[in-house]
Amino acid sequence: MSAGDEVVVALDVGGTGMKCALVRPDGTTVHTERHATDAQRGPDAVVDTILEVADGLAGKARAAGRTPVACGIAVPGVVDETRGVAVWSANVGFRDVPLRELATTRLGLPAALGHDVRVGGLAEARLGAGRDAGHVLFVAIGTGIAAAHVVGGSAATGAHGAAGEIGHILVRPGGPRCGCGRDGCLEAVASASAIGRRFTELAGAPATAAEVADRAAAGEQLAGDVWRAAVEALADGLATGQALFDVATVVLGGGLAQAGPLLFDPLREALRERLTFHREPRLVAAALGDEAGCLGAALLALDTLAKESR
Amino acid sequence: MSAGDEVVVALDVGGTGMKCALVRPDGTTVHTERHATDAQRGPDAVVDTILEVADGLAGKARAAGRTPVACGIAVPGVVDETRGVAVWSANVGFRDVPLRELATTRLGLPAALGHDVRVGGLAEARLGAGRDAGHVLFVAIGTGIAAAHVVGGSAATGAHGAAGEIGHILVRPGGPRCGCGRDGCLEAVASASAIGRRFTELAGAPATAAEVADRAAAGEQLAGDVWRAAVEALADGLATGQALFDVATVVLGGGLAQAGPLLFDPLREALRERLTFHREPRLVAAALGDEAGCLGAALLALDTLAKESR
C-alpha cells in the first residue's frame, strides 16, 4: 500500500458543531462531514458522539481502500496536549476528559488532542497564510478572541495548556466587563460580539459586527466610532503580542477577519503607529477558513506519529 | 584531558561594565573578572575590548591547564542569535555588528551571541530559581523592564531577535511617556527608574525605588501610593504575560527584585486578583544575581556546540 492511501481521521469539535475530515499527510482533504455537537446533552454524550464519529470516519476510510494511520481531535477551552486531556471548556462542558486515550482505545490508532485555536494556528502557519514565516501569531476573532504562537511549525501550549489567551489581556483598564470576570480585556472590547453589543447599546437597535463594519464604511458616525474603538483596542492587543513574541506574520482569522479591508486597512495603520523600535509584522487574513481546525488536528496527529517513530 | 578541564569563555556586556567568566559545562565558574565597557568610546572600540578580553580569558584558561571549548557573549538591545549579530543597542551603540563571527575568528573557537536578558532567563530557568519548571518567564526589572520566555531550556528569540519586550506593553493608556516614544508602557510606570522618578515628581525630593519601597513600608503615604501604583501596573503586565505564555514559574530579577517581600507579597496578591480562569504561576526571586548573564552566555555557547556535534 502506498503512502498516498494513508489518511488521518480529524475532528474539530466546537460548541455547536463538529467539523470532521479525512486528511492526507500532504494536507489535502479526501472527505469531509459535519455533525451537531448538541452540547446541552452533557459532556459524556458529546464524548460518545466524538468517538462514534471518529470510528465511523476510520471505517469509511477503510471502505474506500485507504489506511487510517492516526486520529487528531481539536477541542476548545483549556487543553493539555501533553497528557491528551480536555481540562476545561465553557461551551462543551469538558472537565478533565482523557480524550486522547479514549480515542486511541476506541479506534486502535495513535491519537492526538489539541486546542482548537492552537491547531488552527498550526495549520495556518504550515499550510495557510503564514506558511513562509518561521514565527507566526494566529489570532482568531469571533465570539471570543484567542491566539496561537507558532514557531518552527509548532504551537506553544503553555505549562497548563492555556497559552495564547490574547483575548484576556488588559487593554482598557476600567473598561467593559469580560466574560472571564475581569474588566477591560481585549475580548470585551474588540471581539465580534463585543462590537455588536456596544453598537446595540449606543444605537438602541441590534446589529452584528459585520453590519457595524458596513455602516461605518457607509459613513454612519456612531458605527464608525464603535468600529474605530474596536480597531484601536485590537491594535493595542496586537502591539502587546508583537512586543512579547516578535513574529514575522500575524494571521487574523475568525468571523471578524471576513470584514477584509474594512478591518485590515485601519488595523495595519493603528498597529504601525504603536510600534516604536519593534519590527512591523505582516498582517494577513487566514487562508484556510473553517477547515483550519481539522487540518491542524491532522497535522498534530502526524507530528505525534513522527515523534513516536523517531 | 578530562571533560572537567573544559571551560567556556563567557562575557556579559552591559552599558557600563562587562562581567566575564570561565564557566565549566556543569555551570560552575572557575574564574571571573570585570572590565569597563566605556561605551562613549564608540562601538568599534567596545568590540575591540570584547575580543581582547575574550582572547585574554582563553589564554588564562590555557595557562591554568584548562581547555577553552567555546565562547559565549551576551549583549543588550536587539540581538539576532541565529545570525550572531548585535542588531541594535541604545546603550552600547551597536548597529549590525557580527560579533559571533568576529569572536570565532579571533579566538579560533565556536561562539554564540545572545541577548542579555534572554540568556539571563536561560540561566535562571536551567540553573537558578526556575530550574524545576519547564515553562518559565524571567522578568528583569531595573532601569528598564525586559523578559525571557524559556520553554524546555531554550529562550524564545522572535523573528527579528526582539522577543520578550514586556517593558513595552501597554498597561496605562494615556499614561507616562516611555523612553521608546509611546505612552503608558509598563516600563514607564513600573521600572525602578520610573518609580524613583514618579516619587521625586510628587514629593519634590529625589528618591530611588529602593528608598520608595522602604518609605512605603514605614507607612509614608505618598511613598505607599507610588509603590502600590507600580505594583499594580506590574501585576497587570504579569497577568498579560501569563495569559499569553501560561508559565509555571515567573522569576523576577534586576534591581527591583531586591526589595524582597515589599515587592513580592503585594505583587503576588495583585496578580492573583487579576487571574480568572488562568493558573497562577509561582512568583519567585532570581537566584543567580548578576552572574546570570555570564552563565547564560556560557549555556548558549554549550547549546551551540551540542547542536553542531549532532
The string of pLDDT tens digits covering residues B133-192 is 999 999 999 999 999 999 999 999 999 999 999 999 999 999 999 999 999 999 999 999
Can you tell me the distance from the alpha carbon of B93 to that of A35, in angstroms, rounded to the nearest whole number? 60
Ordered alpha helix ranges (H), chain A: 43-63, 99-107, 116-126, 186-190, 192-203, 209-217, 221-245, 261-274, 292-308
Q: What angle, rounded to 10 degrees, do the helices at A221-245 and A209-217 form?
A: 110
C-alpha cell at position B309: 556535534
Cα B282 to Cα B275: distance, rounded to the nearest angstrom:
13
**What's the pLDDT at A90?**
81
- pLDDT above 90 covers a percentage of chain B that reads 94
Instruction: Tell me whether strands A249-253 and A135-141 are parallel, antiparallel or unpaired.
Output: parallel
From A55's Cα to the closest Cα of chain B, the distance in A is: 33
Task: Report chain A residues whose CB lies below 8 A from the CB of B147.
Answer: 244
**Identity of the residue in B171, B243, B247 whose CB atom sits nearest the CB atom of A165:** B243
Say what the pLDDT of residue B235 is.
98
Nearest to A244 by CA among B126, B250, B238: B238
Judge whether residue A167 has pLDDT over 70. yes
Asked if pLDDT for residue B1 goes beyond 70, the answer is no
Per-residue pLDDT, averaged over A163-178, amounts to 96
Q: Which of A:265-304 have CB within 8 Å of B?
A: 274, 276-279, 281
**Region for A9 from its dihedrals, namely left if φ exceeds 0, alpha if ψ lies in -120 to 50, beta otherwise:** beta
Q: Give B235-249 pLDDT, tens digit per residue.
A: 999 999 999 999 999
Contact B245 A158 (CB under 8 A): yes
Confidence of residue B4 (pLDDT cuts 50, 70, 90): low
Beta bridge partner(s), residue B285: B252
pLDDT digits (tens, 9 = 90+) for A17-41: 999 999 999 999 999 999 999 999 9
Please tell me the distance from the alpha carbon of residue A230 to that of residue A243, in angstroms, as a whole number: 20
Residue B91 has pLDDT above 90, yes or no: no
Compute the mean pLDDT over every residue in chain A, rounded to the nearest whole number: 95
Is A270 in contact with A112 (CB distance < 8 Å)? no
What distance in Å separates the CA atoms of residue B281 and residue B44, rounded to the nearest whole number? 43
List, as ranges, residues 40-79 from B with C-beta within 8 Å of A.
Answer: 78
Using CA coordinates, name the residue in chain B closest to A167: B243
Q: Any CB–CB contact under 8 A between A134 and chain B?
A: yes
Strands lying side by side in the sheet with B6-13 = B29-36, B17-23, B6-13, B67-75, B111-115
User: What proportion of chain A, given as a percentage, has pLDDT over 70?
Assistant: 99
Q: Which of A68, A45, A44, A46 is nearest to A56 (CA)?
A: A68
**Measuring CA to CA, which residue among A212, A94, A102 is closest to residue A161?**
A94
Cell of B121: 532567563
The domain segmentation of chain B, as residue ranges, is 3-120+290-308, 133-286
Residue B245 host element (H or E): helix B221-245
The ipTM estimated for the assembled molecules is 0.95
pLDDT at residue B2, as a whole number: 52
Quickly list H helices, B36-138: 43-63, 99-107, 116-126
Q: Which of A57, A89, A52 is nearest to A74 (CA)?
A: A89
**What's the CA dihedral at B152, B252, B233, B282 to 10 degrees?**
60
Sheet holding B145-151, edge to edge: B154-155, B145-151, B135-141, B249-253, B282-285
Confidence (pLDDT) at B252? 98
Mean pLDDT of B251-257: 96
Judge whether A188 is closer than 8 Å to chain B, CB to CB.
no
Q: Report the topology of domain A3-120+290-308.
A: Nucleotidyltransferase; domain 5 (3.30.420)
Q: For residue B306, give the C-alpha cell.
A: 551540542
Q: Share the mean pLDDT of chain B.
A: 95
DSSP string across B139-152? EEESSSEEEEEEET
The pLDDT of residue A3 is above 60 = no
Residue of B132, B238, B245 to mutate, interface with A, max A Cβ within 10 Å: B245
Residues A90-125: pLDDT tens digits?
Answer: 888 999 999 999 999 999 999 999 999 999 999 999
Give yes or no for residue B211 having a pLDDT over 50: yes
Question: In the 8-state DSSP scheme, what is residue A175?
Answer: -
Best A117, A169, A178, A272 member to test B by mutation, with max B CBs in 10 Å, is A169
Q: Is A190 on the interface with B (CB under 8 A)?
A: no
For residue A285, give the C-alpha cell: 487574513
> What pLDDT score was predicted for residue A1?
45
Of A170, A241, A276, Cβ closest to residue B236: A170
pLDDT at position B163, please? 97
A152 touching chain B per CB within 8 A: no
Asked whether B27 and B122 are in contact (CB, 8 A), the reply is no
- Tell whether A157 is within 8 A of chain B (Cβ): yes
Residue A2 predicted with pLDDT over 70: no
Domain B133-286 in the same topology as domain B3-120+290-308:
yes
Which residues of B fall within a CB distance of 8 Å from A170?
171, 236, 239-240, 274
What is the b/e burial string over B118-128, where b = at least 16 CB atoms within 10 angstroms of the residue's CB?
bbbbbbbbbbb
Instruction: Enter the CATH code of domain A132-286.
Output: 3.30.420.40
Residue A278's pLDDT band, with cuts at 50, 70 and 90, is confident
pLDDT of residue B308: 82
Is the distance from CB of A187 to CB of B243 less than 8 angstroms? Answer: no
Residues in chain A: 310
Specify the 3-state DSSP secondary structure of B260. coil
Q: What confidence tens digit (pLDDT) does each residue in A240-268 have?
A: 999 999 999 999 999 999 999 999 999 99
Whether residues B279 and A88 touch (CB distance < 8 A) is answered with: no
pLDDT surpassing 70 at residue A62: yes
Chain B 191-210, residues with CB within 8 Å of chain A CB atoms: none
Collapsing DSSP to helix, strand or coil, B22 comes out as strand
What is the predicted pLDDT for the residue at A4?
56
Q: Which residue has the cell 485555536?
A: A117
| Beta-carbon contacts of residue A188 (< 8 Å; ≥ 6 apart) | A172, A175, A176, A177, A178, A179, A194
For domain B133-286, the question of CATH label 3.40.50.10540 is answered with: no
